[in-house]
Amino acid sequence: MKIGFIGLGIMGKPMVKNLLKAGHEVLAYDIIADNVENVVVAGAKGAISIAEVAKACKLIITMLPNGPQVKEVVMDEGGVLDVADTGTIVVDMSSIAPGVAQEIYAACAKKGVEMIDAPVSGGEPKAVDGTLSIMVGGKESVFEQVKDVLLNMGASAVYCGDIGAGNTAKLANQIIVALNIAAVSEAFMLSTKAGVAPDKVFDAIKGGLAGSTVMNAKMPMILDGNFNPGFKIDLHIKDLANALNTGHEVGSPLPFTALIMEVMQMLRADGHGQCDHSAIAKYYEKLTSVEVRK
């Protein structure tokens, strides 16, 4: 299948490479030429504009930083809807506010273009492995048409409901991940301050009820002092902002989300915005002047 792919950042590049491994032809575009060259070397074809992608492909995947960028790519002059044929399918795999996904869907529908929102969880490691968790909203019939393609990039692709439901699921995911990292950071600072080696505590509890995918992924990074980004604090701040705004819109209180948001804002102010979100541990290290390490 010929697939258009727009947005070749930390996540987009490995996702394109997994589509290529699955035998798809990919026409890729990004505003950064080096990102395009990276996937061209892997076998993709490079496009010089969004319009070139939209003219050539009946299935277009977008993987962009936030809602405004998706709206620009899809809805602005020279964007997808300017040139896409009726029946084209847009799969937005960005993490954006559910209300924005609904707005883009409505614009697509006026042009006879189908759209689903299909954000992902797993960060760069799972994007590379092709084991992302994909959450989908939109018409179930459209989801079924593209499900096999999604599973070339993910270990699971779950239909969650109408348009915006995928991003609602992603916001729930991001709340849980952020608060889980905070709990891990707080707990292992306690063990460190109490004189009990955090790596030993990790080994002791990871198989019990406190064990989690988040702890298993992030605790080794914290112990090594490795905060190279798989998922940046700046991006998690964006997701939590969308969660808080959505919570306000639907009347769902999110007090702990607001608290961890302020922790992340402090970390950004301290220059850690481009660090992995496991650097939430650095908040506790700043409070205590003690590092949680092996």
Kindly state the greatest CA–CA separation across the chain: 65
pLDDT digits (tens, 9 = 90+) for 48-88: 999 999 999 999 999 999 999 999 999 999 999 999 999 99
Residue 5 pLDDT class (50, 70, 90 cuts)? very high
Q: With 90 as the cut, is the pLDDT of residue 230 above it?
A: no
Per the prediction, the chain carries an average pLDDT of 97
Residue 157 pLDDT class (50, 70, 90 cuts)? very high
The segment(s) of the chain belonging to CATH 1.10.1040.10 are 168-288
Q: What confidence score (pLDDT) does residue 1 get?
A: 87
Q: What confidence score (pLDDT) does residue 212 get?
A: 97
What homologous superfamily does CATH list for 2-162?
NAD(P)-binding Rossmann-like Domain (3.40.50.720)
3-state secondary structure of 238: helix
Residue 11 pLDDT class (50, 70, 90 cuts)? very high
**Above pLDDT 90, what percent of the chain?**
99
pLDDT digits (tens, 9 = 90+) for 258-273: 999 999 999 999 999 9
Strands 120-121 and 132-137 come out as antiparallel
Residue 238's Cα: distance from chain center in Å?
10
The CA-CA-CA angle for residues 63, 65, 71, to 5°, reads: 80
Q: What confidence score (pLDDT) does residue 260 get?
A: 98
Indicate which residues carry an active-site annotation: 170
Helix segments in the chain, DSSP class H: 12-21, 33-41, 50-56, 67-75, 80-83, 98-110, 123-129, 140-150, 165-193, 198-205, 213-224, 233-250, 255-269, 281-288
Give mean pLDDT, residues 32-43: 98
Q: What is the pTM of this model?
A: 0.94
pLDDT digits (tens, 9 = 90+) for 100-123: 999 999 999 999 999 999 999 998
Count the alpha carbons within 13 Å of 272 in the hemisphere toward its beta carbon. Answer: 21
Instruction: State the fold for domain 168-288.
Output: N-(1-d-carboxylethyl)-l-norvaline Dehydrogenase; domain 2 (1.10.1040)
Give mean pLDDT, residues 223-251: 96
The segment(s) of the chain belonging to CATH 3.40.50.720 are 2-162
Strands 89-92 and 59-62 come out as parallel
DSSP 121: E
